Amino acid sequence: MVFRRFAVAGVSLAATIGAAALAVAPTAAATPRTHPPHSAISTGQTVSSVPAAAVNGPSVPGTSAADAPDVDVAKVQAHLTELNAIATRNGGSRKSSGQGYRDSVAYVKNKLQAAGYTVTEQPCTSGCASGAGPNLIAEWPQGDATKVYMFGSHLDSVGAGPGINDNGSGSAALLETALTLAEQHPAMAARVRFGWWTDEEQGLNGSDFYVGSLSSAERSKIKAYYNFDMIASTNGGYFINHVNSTAAQPMKAYWDSLNLQPEENTEGAGRSDDYSFEQAGIPTSGYAMGASARKTSAQAAKWGGTASRAYDPCYHQSCDTTGNINATGLNRSVDGIAYTLWKLAVTNSTPANDFSLATSPATGSVDPGASATGTVSTATTSGSAQTVQLSATGAPAGVTVSFNPASVTSGGSSAMTVATTPATAPGTYPLTITGTGSVTHTTTYTLTVRGTGGCTTQQLLSNGGFESGTTPWTGDTGTIGAHAGQSAHSGSRFAWLGGYGSSTTDTLSQSVTVPAGCAKATLTYWLHIDTDESDRVAYDTFKVKVGSTTLTTLSNTDAASGYTQRTLDLSRYVGQRITLTFTATEDASLQTSFVIDDVTLQTG
């Protein structure tokens, strides 16, 4: 949770929580950065309370057969262990501008994609601290597309520590809730969207950017936003944002069933990402267990713990590790999250009009340049027949999926054609086939592109000259542009990593498949390094990685006028899917700029 200079009174929100869904907000176009960046907002955060003895939460009276599951807190703790390890590997922090944050994003993203979520990285192209990584948005592609409920937490830590309670606890709880939803796969009455926010510790910047990127129509479709920030404080209490509001009622009902007697989260008012949504008129609530404020005698009598001691004695410190987690509070929180989600978005009844979706065959194997065919069939499973629009996602570069016809009346079928090109890289690709009517259903088709035994000479990277926007590069895509103060090797655009003169890390990544059958793969890029450092000491570094393997490291000591062409042999990766990453890291003073252009990965 971020420390703010002002307090915001709790507002009781009496808006009826209805339903209305929303597609993931479009990513704003990257804008040129100013080097060096503006000064970051200073931070010092606070939250609220915690429980006493471990309790497996009972089901709340009044729920239906769609009762929420008991989320396994041991799995939540396993996510916290991994987040702690990520921080350890990255200097003890997961701050938004560091590699620890980006590794955290990758960990969460991989879990969600494997579970079937539609996942989007949203670069924060304005308002965030320099070098901040992206927001991560995940939507479960089931339920009425006119309704959406959103659950969020910030994924970054302060620079001083790994941030396992603040806010690994909220992030891990949401991740395991999302995975449990995918595993249970219940019938959905509404869409559920999850957000993991960047740069909260610098002023709620990631969530501010996300809400600001939504049109007024999109914002109006979000019926409630639920925030979870520090939900495992060791001396904490049980606090709910806007505890008496309509939005809070499912959360309060669950904790009331445990006789926890939750209180208003006054300490956290205006200090976490729910405030960004609240300012846009969206009903909000959420759980918290407390930060630096001190537990009162009355709270200690009610919840246990130590009076006159901070709810989280390790708040914003290096001791905020896995040893700083109240497992009882974490368990009660994650089960309350699941209960709220099930209560709002899961239905126990069959939709009035529903259909099934299937592909036959469910797999196909082709040589590059050939096409696979199949049949997408539908059936009316309840109510009346309806029009079903067909679409596909997950196809790699060079692969197209078409349907004839593109929409069918449930009970009908469509011919599916999956076409490749001679340049399509060999590999196995799971494609998601989606049917959208009054409800949405998906099924999976697995495409295998066989190796040809030979090798087609080709350039594998897309937009290596950075002239066509930022796609498909990921990471700090705000580094891409026609920035004043540097020039391109060719064309007008380039990627400018570093150049701030402060402790910052910038990364750019792209994933490609290096075709089997090739004898050689060569990475070539043009790099200009300029620096204000005068010592022959490597204070600021530039690394080229494939996956977690560093192929080369350059530094301020390699500075020179103009661009230098550099080449690396990637032949060892033939036949593999790889992620190529450029990373620039600066120390606390004296800028070094690493300017990249005209990147190619050539097979032969």
Task: State pLDDT tens for residues 338-384.
Answer: 999 999 999 876 667 888 899 999 889 888 888 999 999 999 988 89
Does residue 310 share a domain with residue 438?
no
pLDDT at 15 over 80: no
Find the mean pLDDT for residues 330-342.
97
- Are 185 and 347 within 8 A, CB to CB? no
Residue 49 lies in a domain: no
- Are 223 and 341 within 8 A, CB to CB? no
pLDDT at 604 over 90: no
Find the mean pLDDT for residues 296-314.
97
What does residue 226 show for φ and ψ, rounded to 5 degrees?
-120, 130
Does residue 533 share a domain with residue 419?
no
Residue 260 lies in a domain: yes
Count of other CB atoms within 10 angstroms of residue 350:
11
Does residue 268 share a domain with residue 136?
yes
What is the pLDDT confidence band of residue 48, given thresholds at 50, 70 and 90? very low
Residue 39 lies in a domain: no
Residue 353 lies in a domain: no
More confident residue, 489 or 116: 489
More confident residue, 407 or 66: 407
Does residue 191 share a domain with residue 283?
yes
Does residue 303 share a domain with residue 435?
no
Q: Which residue has the tokens 């309704």?
A: 147
Q: Where are the beta strands (DSSP E) in 76-230?
A: 118-122, 135-140, 148-154, 191-197, 222-228
Does residue 525 share a domain with residue 392?
no
Does residue 366 share a domain with residue 290?
no
- Determine whether 176 is an active site residue: no
366: CATH: 2.60.40.10
Residue 267 lies in a domain: yes
| pLDDT reported for residue 143 | 84
pLDDT at 495 over 70: yes
For the four alpha carbons of 488, 493, 499 and 503, in that order, the dihedral sign comes to: negative
| pLDDT reported for residue 49 | 31
| pLDDT reported for residue 432 | 86
229: CATH: 3.40.630.10
| pLDDT reported for residue 351 | 67
Find the mean pLDDT for residues 452-477.
84
Does residue 292 share a domain with residue 340?
yes
Find the mean pLDDT for residues 181-199.
93
Does residue 172 share a domain with residue 260?
yes
What does residue 327 show for φ and ψ, rounded to 5 degrees?
-65, -35
pTM of the complete model: 0.59
Distances (CA, A) of 406 to 23, 385, 435, 436: 20, 16, 10, 11
Task: State pLDDT tens for residues 534-589.
Answer: 988 999 999 999 988 999 999 999 999 999 999 999 999 888 889 999 999 999 99
Tokens of 185: 């796969």
pLDDT at 28 over 50: no
Does residue 295 share a domain with residue 165?
yes
| pLDDT reported for residue 38 | 26
pLDDT at 56 over 70: no
539: CATH: 2.60.120.260
Instruction: Please choose, from the candidates 462, 472, 455, the residue with its C-alpha nearest in 3D space to the C-alpha of residue 368.
Output: 455
Where is the domain boundary, 449, 472, 493?
449
Where is the domain boundary, 394, 416, 449?
449
Q: Which residues, 6+ apart, have CB-to-CB distance to 392 below 8 Å?
A: 401, 403, 416, 431, 432, 433, 434, 445
Q: Which of 82, 176, 200, 267 is catalytic?
A: 200
| Three-class HEC string of 56-80 | CCCCCCCCCCCCCCCCCHHHHHHHH
Where is the domain boundary, 285, 317, 345?
345
Rounded to whole angstroms, how far apart are CA atoms 533 and 552?
21
Q: Which residues, 6+ apart, have CB-to-CB distance to 78 below 8 Å?
A: none
| pLDDT reported for residue 12 | 32
445: containing domain: 358-449
Does residue 255 share a domain with residue 113?
yes
- Are 276 and 204 within 8 A, CB to CB? yes
Instruction: Please choose, from the candidates 26, 144, 54, the residue with its C-alpha nearest in 3D space to the C-alpha of residue 440.
Output: 144
Q: What percent of the chain has pLDDT over 70?
A: 88
Residue 484 lies in a domain: yes
Q: Longest Cα pair distance anywhere in the chain, in angstroms?
A: 76
Residue 33 lies in a domain: no
What letter represents residue 91's amino acid?
A: G
Does residue 375 share a domain with residue 341?
no
The full length of the chain comes to 604
For the chain, the C-alpha Rg in angstroms (whole number) is 25
Instruction: Give me the residues paired with residue 513 across strands.
Output: 577
Number of domains in the chain: 3
**Mean per-residue pLDDT over the chain, rounded:** 86
Residue 47 lies in a domain: no
More confident residue, 463 or 110: 463
| pLDDT reported for residue 6 | 34
